Chains A and B, each alone.
Chain A
Amino acid sequence: AQTVTQSQPEMSVQEAETVTLSCTYDTSENNYYLFWYKQPPSRQMILVIRQEAYKQQNATENRFSVNFQKAAKSFSLKISDSQLGDTAMYFCAFMKLGSGSGAGSYQLTFGKGTKLSVIP
């Protein structure tokens, strides 16, 4: 079974500053994806960024980037130029890949989340 740990229950950052959210995971799988989702007060889960484990290059999406350290099983999210709209709960998630309908394949294992507040 996989586990995902987010060690920072709450964080805050000044508008326009940079913040890094931590995530570590534990797995014996070799073929997987990692995700960051955000859940603003509306409670809509929104995909922020995705990383394929087989790719060494860190994923980036505009102001969002990750630091993926496969050997250390670490997957942190960096938000640059923080904006008020970034205020949300951020969930790190692990997805095991598999062929066909193998048990647990394509399911997401979530961390407990980090509540990020962007301060004007």
Chain B
Amino acid sequence: GAVVSQHPSWVICKSGTSVKIECRSLDFQATTMFWYRQFPKQSLMLMATSNEGSKATYEQGVEKDKFLINHASLTLSTLTVTSAHPEDSSFYICSALDGGLSDTQYFGPGTRLTVL
């Protein structure tokens, strides 16, 4: 149980284009999901908290207009990187909070974004 999928697993795009990443909780409902960014050999950096049916809460320094988050249902949150630039290249990871049973975050496998 407690499986979270993330799609795509990797994406390469041209500078200036937008990229959408999907995060799904497959076997539980998640009213809260989280988006992280991870640089090589570093820990996870929280970007935003996504709540179903409401606006996402962004961490300080994260541009909400660049990283659009939509939590459309209890099992799906999306992160759209708008007008991507090479400095947005990174590893993006989502997690879903299993608040019903364990108050534990379960993580997706991550998405490697490369912007050319």
Interface residues of A (CB under 8 A from B): 33, 35, 37, 42-47, 50, 91, 95, 97, 101, 106-108, 110-113
Q: Interface code B95-107, partner A: CB below 8 Å = 1, 0 otherwise? A: 1010100111111
- Inter-chain contact A107/B110, CB cutoff 8 Å: no
User: Total interface residues on B, using CB and 8 Å?
Assistant: 22
B-chain residues with CB within 8 Å of residue A44 when the two chains form the complex? 107, 109-110
B-chain residues with CB within 8 Å of residue A108 when the two chains form the complex? 34, 44, 46, 95, 105
Q: Give Cα A45 to B99, complex, Å.
A: 18
Q: Give Cα A43 to B108, complex, Å.
A: 10
**Which one, B46, B51, B93, contacts A107 given CB within 8 A?**
B46
- Please judge, given known A-B contacts A44-B107, A91-B43, whether A106 and B32 are in contact too, CB under 8 Å: yes
B75 within 8 Å of A by Cβ?
no
Number of A-B contacts (CB under 8 A): 48
Shortest distance between the CB of A99 and any CB in chain B (Å): 12
**Which one, A35, A42, A106, A111, contacts B99 given CB within 8 A?**
A106
B49 within 8 Å of A by Cβ?
yes
B58 within 8 Å of A by Cβ?
no
**With A33-B104, A113-B43 already in contact, 17 other A-B pairs whose C-beta atoms are closer than 8 Å:** A35-B104, A43-B91, A43-B93, A43-B109, A44-B110, A45-B93, A45-B95, A45-B110, A46-B107, A47-B104, A47-B106, A50-B102, A97-B103, A106-B32, A108-B44, A108-B95, A112-B43
- Inter-chain contact B109/A42, CB cutoff 8 Å: yes
Q: Interface code B50-86, partner A: CB below 8 Å = 1, 0 otherwise? A: 0100000000000000000000000000000000000
